[in-house]
């Protein structure tokens, strides 16, 4: 059920012990929004704890209060009177749902989140859920500390490609400016968020070596096997001249492929939705429970259909073979 921001704030005010969570494969917005909300809730006298059912890439460990994020243990329960889910729908929080039977309040910015069966405040025009967290703090009358501001800024920056993507709007820049006024240093956040390990850089090299061009140069894809950290990899090919849709397939396990898509003009949320996933118009993803080769065929055919291209069986041309 869709609710207003004011109604979401009222529901939070009525709760005392709140369990916070976000989606598996957590990105900067998922982690930033939960960490910021943790601090905001505590500032208004609420008891709060974060559980995320996945590992978190190391560059996000530098965010304030990161060490308070817990991963659920099988059989564990948590006494809460509200489950506050940020940046995703309830079907993507893994085993966190088994921790409590508390009512759900969902705050999100993904257009594909329907709110069916739970209370949802969704703002598709928001660049990041962190942007909504900032507005929710104001609605709650809460002060935003410097630590909370850093977390909000980090989530907004990473979800907008450091304010380069088309989802960057006037509200986004206004809020970012207010966070800088709070004391956030954009250069420090950028350095933290862009930091990569040697292993990640090595994986990026492999990803570029795997790159292929499809459908007359309109589509580019990269292919990974068992890679854990893939943040920013898709941007390596999104910038190729003439490419509208870029995708990344991560062969995480046998017959289990995670797909990410980015576009310059095509509605990839609709494509992802047709394959059982979701997301934003310009950034979306899904999971395909099949082999890497078969997942590639399925995905390229779905993208080609959206682009009204006839050759849906295009096997792709390696980047190294293109002048």
pLDDT at position 321: 84
Domain of residue 12 covers 5-194
Residue 311 has pLDDT above 70, yes or no: no
Where does a domain end: 129, 160, 194? Answer: 194
- Report pLDDT digits (tens) over 7-48: 999 999 999 999 999 998 899 999 999 999 999 999 999 999
Share of the chain above pLDDT 70, in %: 98
How many CB atoms are located within 10 Å of the residue 108 CB?
24
Mean pLDDT of all residues in 165-173: 93
Query: Could you tell me the CATH number of the domain that includes residue 73?
Result: 3.90.1640.10
DSSP-derived letter for residue 53 is: S
Q: Would the pLDDT of 282 be above 80?
A: yes
Same domain, residue pair 188 and 263? no
Mean pLDDT in residue range 255-273: 92
* Shared-domain flag, residues 164 and 239: no
188 by DSSP, 3-state: which?
helix
Residue 188 shares a structural domain with residue 243: no
Single out the residue in 159, 194, 229 at which a domain terminates. Answer: 194
Distance CA 126, CA 148 (A): 18
Question: 196 falls in which pLDDT band (50, 70, 90)?
Answer: confident
Instruction: Determine the pLDDT at residue 137.
Output: 98
pLDDT at 113: 84
179 and 245 belong to one structural domain: no
* pLDDT single digits (tens) 198-255: 888 888 888 899 999 999 999 999 998 877 677 778 988 999 999 999 999 999 888 9
Q: Is the pLDDT of residue 315 over 90?
A: no
245, 311: one domain: yes
Query: Average pLDDT in the 272-276 region?
Result: 91
Look at the chain and report how many structural domains it folds into.
2
Q: Are residues 188 and 216 in the same domain?
A: no
Q: What is the pTM of this model?
A: 0.86
pLDDT at 309 (0 to 100): 84
Q: Which of 132, 161, 194 is the last residue of a domain?
A: 194
Is residue 188 located within the same domain as residue 248?
no
pLDDT tier for residue 182 given thresholds of 50, 70 and 90 = very high
Name the residue with higher pLDDT: 294 or 252.
Answer: 294
Full strand arrangement of the beta sheet holding 256-263: 278-279, 283-288, 256-263, 245-253, 219-225, 212-214, 317-318
- The reply to whether 299 and 207 lie within a common domain is yes
Distance CA 117, CA 114 (A): 9
Q: Specify the pLDDT at position 126.
A: 95
E strand or H helix that includes residue 249: strand 245-253
């Amino acid at each position: 059920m869709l609710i207003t921001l004011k109604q979401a704030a009222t529901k939070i005010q009525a709760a005392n012990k709140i369990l916070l969570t976000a989606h598996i494969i957590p990105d900067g917005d998922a982690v930033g929004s939960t960490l910021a909300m943790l601090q905001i809730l505590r500032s208004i006298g609420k008891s709060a704890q974060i559980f995320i059912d996945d590992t978190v890439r190391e560059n996000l460990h530098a965010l304030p209060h990161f060490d308070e994020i817990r991963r659920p243990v099988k059989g564990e329960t948590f006494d809460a009177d509200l489950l506050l889910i940020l940046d995703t729908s309830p079907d993507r929080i893994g085993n966190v749902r088994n921790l409590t039977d508390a009512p759900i309040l969902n705050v999100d910015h993904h257009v594909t989140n329907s709110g069916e069966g739970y209370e949802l405040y969704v703002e598709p025009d928001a660049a990041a859920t962190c942007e909504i967290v900032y507005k929710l703090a104001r609605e709650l009358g809460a002060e935003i500390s410097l630590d909370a501001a850093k977390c909000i800024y980090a989530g907004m920056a990473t979800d907008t490609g450091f304010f380069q993507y088309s989802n960057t709007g006037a509200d986004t820049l206004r809020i970012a400016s207010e966070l800088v006024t709070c004391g956030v240093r954009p250069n420090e956040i950028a350095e933290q968020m862009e930091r990569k390990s040697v292993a990640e850089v090595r994986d990026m090299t492999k990803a570029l070596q795997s790159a292929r061009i499809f459908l007359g140069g309109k589509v580019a894809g990269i292919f990974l096997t068992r890679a854990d950290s893939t943040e920013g990899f898709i941007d390596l090919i999104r910038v190729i001249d003439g490419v509208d849709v870029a995708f990344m397939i991560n062969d995480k396990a046998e017959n289990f492929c995670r797909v990410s898509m980015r576009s310059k003009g095509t509605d990839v949320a609709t494509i992802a939705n047709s394959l059982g996933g979701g997301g934003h118009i310009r950034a979306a993803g899904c999971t395909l429970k099949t082999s890497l080769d078969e997942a590639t065929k399925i995905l390229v055919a779905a993208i080609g259909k959206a682009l009204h291209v006839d050759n849906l069986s295009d096997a792709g041309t390696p980047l190294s073979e293109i002048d």
